[in-house]
Structure 1
Amino acid sequence: MRYDNLIWDFDGTLFDTYPPMCRDLRAAMGALGVWFPMEELLARFTSSRGEVLAFCAAGTGMTAEQTDQVYRAWVAEHGQPPALPFPCVPELLARFQAAGGRNFVFTHRSGSVHTYLAQAGLTGYFTEVVSAGTVFARKPDPAGNEYLITKYGLDRRRTLAVGDRELDILAGRSAGVDTCLFSAAPAKTAADYQITEFAQLAALTGLPAEE
């Protein structure tokens, strides 16, 4: 294979979490009497969480931090929204591991990432999951990538970081690994590769053909 290690982002990469997160954010803001169009929230969430919180804050008269507190309180009351892996992700994880590769996660999400992975039966496909914003600095800081590279002796030349945001790409490049942007449409990016669906990642990583 071309790569022995994949370092995955979680939200918007492994799991299609942005739409349900936006629905919860919209409901939380709606409880305050302010309703935002879903497409407006989703476009900003896809860029960054900070951008969508700032957008909502401007529309409600709150600060971004206050908006985040309202959203987190909503989730605490109603629970994490259900979300599924993107198509082909479970099969790709299994094939990559079976071929001798190792999967890792470096995400901004905290403990709930383990719940999502367990519910989808995917926990066993990952060597380790690390969270930015808790132990490690948030992306584009490469601290989480560097931790995984050092702990597991990963060959940077045979490691690929996969994410849906440019901050994922910048974190990977800063760690000296190749990078792949997952995006539904072509985007301006510093990534080494772009894919629009995960079936394309099999060829990119050099996975053996399925028998």
Structure 2
Amino acid sequence: MSKLKSLPEALLFDLDGTLADTIVQLAKAASASAVALGLTPPPQKTIQEYVGNGVNMLLARVLAGRFDVTLDDVDKDLLLKARAVFNQVYSEGLKTDFMVYDGVVDGLKYFKERGIKLVVVTNKPQIFADPLLKCMGIYDYFDFVLGGEVLKQRKPDPAPLQYCLAKIGVSNDRAVMIGDSDNDIIAGLNAKICTVFFTYGYNRANIQELDIDYKFDSFTQLTELIKSFK
């Protein structure tokens, strides 16, 4: 996709690592799941590397102790037990251990003032995405929120992005996908949407190999880009 030539009609955001730092929340819940099954939880830095493909995949990686794992590689009963613990611990900790990144609130407010439709499209389950955004105080800025486990497909599949665009009535050439990982960028590329990559999140090693339209070190740089279109 080519770079923006005019004000976009929609901005699609990832959540974890893009709008806020939530790794402590995720690490606590994932670690509790491992401990409940008699396993030694991995360090927080390792759990951060496991994030991005939904809760079940995160837990599968924690249980297997490696990144390159599929859901079929993990005992289904163990995964169900781990998920039950994760759901409880994560739900109890939604109000704490997160940090909305600098510039996010001001940026979202400005985007709304410009009449841009705002969407969150995340692999985080909907049951967590909605309340977390409310705890952060930014839920009301968004026109639509799509969590993981609503559709069969997840990012990097383009289907979640296409679903969101259909919901808000915006074509792909008038939208931007914004995220911090290869899942976000690949989904945007596959959906033929302009892409913005934030370097401060939980990015993957192969991100340099992707054809990204914009790379920013702060949320404010995105806001400045949008301000450049009068």
Report TM bin, short chain: 0.7 to 0.9
The 1:74–1:180 alpha-carbon spacing in structure 2 relative to 1, beyond 3 Å, is: same
**Amino acid of the structure 2 residue aligned with 1:108:** N
CA distance in 2, matches of 1:139, 1:179: 14
AA aligned to 1:41 is: I
Range with greater deviation from structure 2 (129-138 or 161-170): 129-138
Separation in 2 of the partners of 1:35 and 1:169? 29
User: TM-score, length-normalised on structure 1?
Assistant: 0.83
- Are 1:180 and 2:208 matched, yes or no? no
Q: Is 1:57 equivalent to 2:66 in the alignment?
A: no
Q: Distance in 2 between matches of 1:108 and 1:84?
A: 19
- The one-letter code sitting in structure 2 at the alignment partner of 1:142 is P
2:102 to 87, 90, 93: 87
What secondary structure, in the 3-state scheme, does the structure 2 residue paired with 1:161 have? Answer: strand
Q: 1:36 to 1:93 in 2, by over 3 A?
A: same
Give the aligned residue type for 2:176. L
Q: Which residue of structure 2 aligns with residue 198 of structure 1?
A: 219
Distance 1:38 1:152 in 2: 37
Deviations 1:118-146 (A, max 9, x none): 22222221111122332351111212221
1:123 equivalent in structure 2: 139
Deviation at 1:72, TM superposition (A): 2.2
Q: CA deviation at 1:97?
A: 0.3
Structure 2 residue aligned with 1:75: 86
Q: Distance in 2 between matches of 1:65 and 1:197?
A: 40
Number of matched pairs:
208
Alignment of structure 1 residues 123-202 onto 2, 5 Å: 123-184=139-200, 187-188=207-208, 189-202=210-223
Partner amino acid for 2:13?
W
Unpaired segments ≥5 residues, structure 2:
1-5, 67-72
Shift of 1:152: 2.9
Closer, same or farther: CA 145–77 of 1 in aligned 2, 3 Å: closer
Q: Which residue in the other structure is 2:69 paired with?
A: none
* 1:137 match: secondary structure: coil
Matching residue within 14, 17, 24 for 1:12: 17
Letter matched to residue 89 of structure 2: H
1:20-35 to 2 correspondence within 5 Å? Answer: 20-31=25-36, 32-35=38-41
Percent same amino acid at aligned positions?
A: 25
The RMSD of aligned alpha carbons is 2.9
